[in-house]
Amino acid sequence: MNMGPGPGRGPGGPNDLYEKMKPPKPKHLREVPTYLRTVVGGVFSRLLYIFRLVWEARPALLFVMSFMALFNGFMPVAGTFISAHLLGRIVERLNDPTVDLWVPLLLQFGYTFLYFLVNDVYKVVMNISGELVTNHVRVKIMEKAKEVDLASFDQPEFYERLENASREAGTRPVTIVNSTFGMVSQLITMISYLVVLGGLIFRLAWYASVFALLFILLSVATALVGFYFRRQKFLYVRRKSKDRRQMNYYSDLMVNKDLVKELRLFDLSDLFIGRYKGVFARYFKGLKRLVYKETAWNLSLGFLTVVVNCVLFFIIASNIGQIEGYTIYTGALNAVSTAVTTVLTTIGSIYEGTLFIDNMILFMREKKTIRSTLPEGAVPERRKGHRIELRNVSFSYPGSDRMVLKHIDLTLEPGDTAVLVGLNGAGKTTLIKLLTRLYDPTEGTVLLDGRDIREYEPEALYRLYGIIFQDFGKYAEPVRDNIYFGQADAEPTDEALENAAREASADEFIRRLPRGYDTPLMRYFEPDGVELSIGQWQKLSVARAFYADSDILILDEPTASLDPMAEQELFRQFDRLRKGKTTVFVSHRLSSAVTADKIILLKDGEIAETGTHAELMAKKGEYYTLFTTQAKRYLSPDDTA
Ligand code: ADP
């Protein structure tokens, strides 16, 4: 479950992306041009990025959109002239019945038809393009996520970026490109009408131009008010990101499949719903205030606009004798004022929209460091039994100074079985992540067959390992696939899959499932999906490791969810499986350590003891204490007496 971001991620905090991307505010008047250039440059480069995304998805989309921008730009002007022409003819016909109305009527009809036809087709195109671009961006994000270092995922900042990118970057590009083209249309309309209006100024009394100017200024003011309040809402929502995360957290809790049992039995549902409502009320209060304020402004401006409008139209009406001229000029005025508002509003929304794409841009720029240090990555030889060596390895997780592993020196000879033991948090899993080069050590080197593992091609290196993590994958796919994923680069055969399942003691329960190996797992997609017990899942994960034809076997608590009988059986099978392979086990159950070639006891990130079971027992140190404590739990007081 997504538990929400950690502390210190509030807006304005060190990780606030928008604050970081913003150019510094100018302190002097002379810095203003530079500041504006940076802002405009930023918007342009983001716009370019967005256009490129649409272009990559389907180049034709951009052509269709450009055509629509021109079409929608000129059509209103043409429409005004056609309507005015028709009206003029109708008035003429009142005095002279011989005036023919056919041509203007046909023109009007043709115009309306063309306008609706093109726009309807365009709507369909836009719907489809929305899907196409969203899909393109999703795939792009998935492709990138595939290669990003695991270490990046540990950083909350990166993770938030990834989440935001996948949430927004899909739908926004089309909207933004569309708005940009819409703005171009409006500009074309506006300029054409301004040319028409230009003629008017010379024909009317001087105060007409004052009112015309006032009319246009009012539309600028309307747009600015809209822009201001949008920004206020944007800032408000950002400031309240903790509230929003909390609301998401509570609503996620309520639909979380793993928690539903506990919520019911502890009767927590109403409590969490109540908390959700509480946070929402707090969040909504501020938002409501902003909406009221905006409405008050809009109503006042709207009222003023209507008054100015009335006066202006009255002036035009009393100055222009012809109905045709009246229609054209009032139409032009209305259109210019709408265009001014729309253009300004669109600029605002494009600016805001482009900010969101920063998540995606930064995510796509994430550097990959897990790659071969050689120009041509080395490919490790495939054979059972590799020599693994750690030399003075220390490690701290990215974004943290705490050394989780300190000065580890360790050698595993080919075919060795090593067991890592130690308390929770001692660093066992971390050591495995370094062995397999999921992470690079902060200090020191890991060698495979005498060579720094950083020199190998990571993909080729990963192929050597058959691995079961503590939090192994449970895939909502058929049983067969859950095993086959162990080595997905080769076509699976039923025989190999069943062998692996048999070796993992999974075959028996799989055969009892309704559709055997083809049974879909989990109920995400399939109504007949089967929910396995955690022990059964674990057996499947072991089968997956058996199926992977690996050289090195790594098992992190592979028996944690198994009952003692199954555990014993599995250990016997591991014995067979690991023949000749270098094997690393992490286990809490020290019984598994008894036969190991090497036991490595980690304590607070350091190797406290190493040796065989017999050696360590004789030493009567940490291992001895751990082992005897655990053994006592399995024996009755009589046995220990
Ligand atoms: P073990 O496997 O021995 O229980 P781990 O290797 O999982 O221990 O963890 C060692 C230490 O590293 C713990 O203190 C844990 O909190 C920390 N740790 C583990 N994973 C991460 C991570 N992704 N980011 C930061 N710290 C981590």
What pLDDT score does 8 carry? 35
Q: Is 154 in the pocket of ligand 1 (CB under 6 A)?
A: yes
Distance 553 CA to ligand 1 centre (A): 21
Q: Whose CA is nearest to atom 6 of ligand 1?
A: 427
What pLDDT score does 636 carry? 53
Same fold, 380-464+552-641 and 473-549: yes
- Over residues 581-637, the pLDDT tens digits come to 888 988 877 777 777 889 999 999 999 999 999 999 999 999 998 888 887 766 655
Q: CB-based contacts of 466: which residues, under 8 Å, 6+ apart? A: 486, 545, 546, 548, 549, 550, 552, 553, 554
Q: Is 177 helix (H, G, I), strand (E, B) or coil?
A: helix
Which two tokens mark 202?
């010379």
Residue 300 phi, psi (nearest 5): -65, -50
CATH class of 380-464+552-641: alpha beta
Q: Is 33 in the pocket of ligand 1 (CB under 6 A)?
A: no
Q: Is 434 in the pocket of ligand 1 (CB under 6 A)?
A: no
Which two tokens mark 398?
């990215």
Q: Is the pLDDT of residue 389 over 60?
A: yes
Residue 76 confidence class, pLDDT cut points 50, 70, 90: confident
- In the 8-state DSSP scheme, what is residue 533? P
Please choose from 397, 420, 600 the residue to mutate so as to test ligand 1's pocket, defined by most ligand atoms within 8 A of CB. 397
What pLDDT score does 2 carry? 38
Q: Is 605 in the pocket of ligand 1 (CB under 6 A)?
A: no
Please choose from 394, 395, 404 the residue to mutate so as to test ligand 1's pocket, defined by most ligand atoms within 8 A of CB. 404
Q: Is the pLDDT of residue 336 over 50?
A: yes
Q: Is the pLDDT of residue 245 over 60?
A: yes
Q: Is 153 in the pocket of ligand 1 (CB under 6 A)?
A: no
Q: Is the pLDDT of residue 9 over 50?
A: no
| Average pLDDT of every residue of the chain | 84
What pLDDT score does 637 carry? 54
Q: Where are the domains of the chain?
A: 13-202, 204-319, 380-464+552-641, 473-549
Q: What is the CA radius of gyration of the chain?
A: 35
Averaged pLDDT, 122-129: 86
Q: Is the pLDDT of residue 442 over 70?
A: yes
Cα–Cα distance measured from residue 377 to residue 448, given in angstroms and rounded to the nearest whole number = 14
Q: Whose CA is nearest to atom 21 of ligand 1?
A: 397
Name 456's bridge partners.
Answer: 378
What pLDDT score does 255 carry? 85
Which two tokens mark 268?
């927590």
Q: Is 170 helix (H, G, I), strand (E, B) or coil?
A: coil
Distance 425 CA to ligand 1 centre (A): 6
Matching residue, tokens 């290196």: 461
Distance 604 CA to ligand 1 centre (A): 11
pTM for this predicted structure: 0.74
Q: Whose CA is nearest to atom 27 of ligand 1?
A: 397
Q: Is the pLDDT of residue 426 over 70?
A: yes
| Atom in ligand 1 nearest the alpha carbon of residue 424 | 4
CA nearest to 237, candidates 229, 626, 185: 229
Which two tokens mark 340?
């001014």
What pLDDT score does 272 carry? 94
| Atom in ligand 1 nearest the alpha carbon of residue 431 | 6
Lowest mean pLDDT among 174-178, 247-251, 322-326: 322-326
How far CA 567 is from CA of 331, 553, 572, in Å, comes to: 84, 17, 9
What pLDDT score does 5 carry? 37
What pLDDT score does 319 carry? 74
Distance 424 CA to ligand 1 centre (A): 9
- In the 8-state DSSP scheme, what is residue 443? E
How far CA 525 is from CA of 120, 444, 477, 521, in Å, comes to: 35, 46, 9, 9
Cα–Cα distance measured from residue 164 to residue 569, given in angstroms and rounded to the nearest whole number = 46
Q: Is 402 left (phi over 0), alpha (psi -120 to 50) or beta?
A: beta
* Percent of the chain residues topping a pLDDT of 70: 93
CA nearest to 343, candidates 180, 193, 233: 180
Q: Is the pLDDT of residue 566 over 80?
A: no
Highest mean pLDDT among 65-74, 263-272, 275-284, 307-316: 275-284
Q: Is 429 in the pocket of ligand 1 (CB under 6 A)?
A: yes
On the CB side of 184, CA atoms within 13 Å amount to 12
Q: Is the pLDDT of residue 580 over 90?
A: no
Higher pLDDT residue, 391 or 97?
391
Averaged pLDDT, 260-269: 88
CA nearest to 89, candidates 326, 321, 324: 324
What pLDDT score does 201 carry? 59
Q: Annotate 427-481 with three-state secondary structure.
A: CHHHHHHHHCCCCCCCEEEEEECCEEHHHECHHHHHCCEEEECCCCCCCCCEHHH
Averaged pLDDT, 393-412: 92
Cα–Cα distance measured from residue 232 to residue 10, given in angstroms and rounded to the nearest whole number = 17
How far CA 98 is from CA of 89, 102, 608, in Å, comes to: 11, 12, 110
Q: Is 426 in the pocket of ligand 1 (CB under 6 A)?
A: yes
Distance 115 CA to ligand 1 centre (A): 63
What pLDDT score does 557 carry? 81
What pLDDT score does 7 carry? 36
End-to-end CA distance of the chain: 47
Which two tokens mark 90?
């109708």
- In the 8-state DSSP scheme, what is residue 530? B
Residue 555 phi, psi (nearest 5): -130, 115
* Percent of the chain residues topping a pLDDT of 90: 31
Residues 101-115 as b or e (16 or more Cβ within 10 Å = b): eeebeebbeebeeeb
| Atom in ligand 1 nearest the alpha carbon of residue 423 | 3
Give me the sign of the Cα torsion angle 274, 279, 280, 281.
Answer: positive
Q: Which long-range contacts (CB under 8 A, 24 or more apart) does 63-67 make?
A: 64/122, 64/125, 64/129, 65/177, 65/178, 65/181, 66/181
- Is there a contact between 220 and 344 (Cβ–Cβ < 8 Å)? yes
Q: Is 640 in the pocket of ligand 1 (CB under 6 A)?
A: no
Cα–Cα distance measured from residue 263 to residue 282, given in angstroms and rounded to the nearest whole number = 25
Which two tokens mark 213?
């100017």
Lowest mean pLDDT among 97-111, 209-223, 316-330: 316-330
Distance 427 CA to ligand 1 centre (A): 6
CB atoms within 10 A of CB 189: 24
Q: Is the pLDDT of residue 519 over 60?
A: yes
Residue 97 confidence class, pLDDT cut points 50, 70, 90: confident
Q: Is 556 helix (H, G, I), strand (E, B) or coil?
A: strand
Q: Whose CA is nearest to atom 11 of ligand 1?
A: 425
Identity of the amino acid at 433:
K
What pLDDT score does 13 carry? 38
DSSP notation for 343-392: HHHHHHHHHHHHHHHHHHHHHHHPPP--S-SSSS-B-----S---EEEEE
Q: Whose CA is nearest to atom 23 of ligand 1?
A: 154
Which two tokens mark 338?
């709408």
Please choose from 430, 435, 438, 585 the residue to mutate so as to test ligand 1's pocket, defined by most ligand atoms within 8 A of CB. 430
Matching residue, tokens 């502390």: 7
Residue 466 phi, psi (nearest 5): -105, 125
- Residues making up the chain, counted from first to last: 641
Please choose from 393, 429, 585 the residue to mutate so as to test ligand 1's pocket, defined by most ligand atoms within 8 A of CB. 429
Q: Is 424 in the pocket of ligand 1 (CB under 6 A)?
A: yes
Q: Is 427 in the pocket of ligand 1 (CB under 6 A)?
A: yes
Which two tokens mark 53?
């995304």
CA nearest to 428, candidates 267, 203, 198, 607: 607
CATH T-level topology, domain 473-549: Rossmann fold (3.40.50)
Apex 125 CA angle, 121 and 129, nearest 5 = 175
Q: Is 422 in the pocket of ligand 1 (CB under 6 A)?
A: yes
How far CA 492 is from CA of 52, 171, 283, 495, 546, in Å, comes to: 40, 38, 54, 8, 13
Q: CB-based contacts of 180: which residues, under 8 Å, 6+ apart? A: 47, 346, 350
- Is there a contact between 615 and 429 (Cβ–Cβ < 8 Å)? no
Averaged pLDDT, 424-433: 92
- Over residues 343-359, the pLDDT tens digits come to 888 887 787 777 778 77
Higher pLDDT residue, 320 or 285?
285
Cα–Cα distance measured from residue 175 to residue 168, given in angstroms and rounded to the nearest whole number = 11
Name 554's bridge partners.
Answer: 467, 584
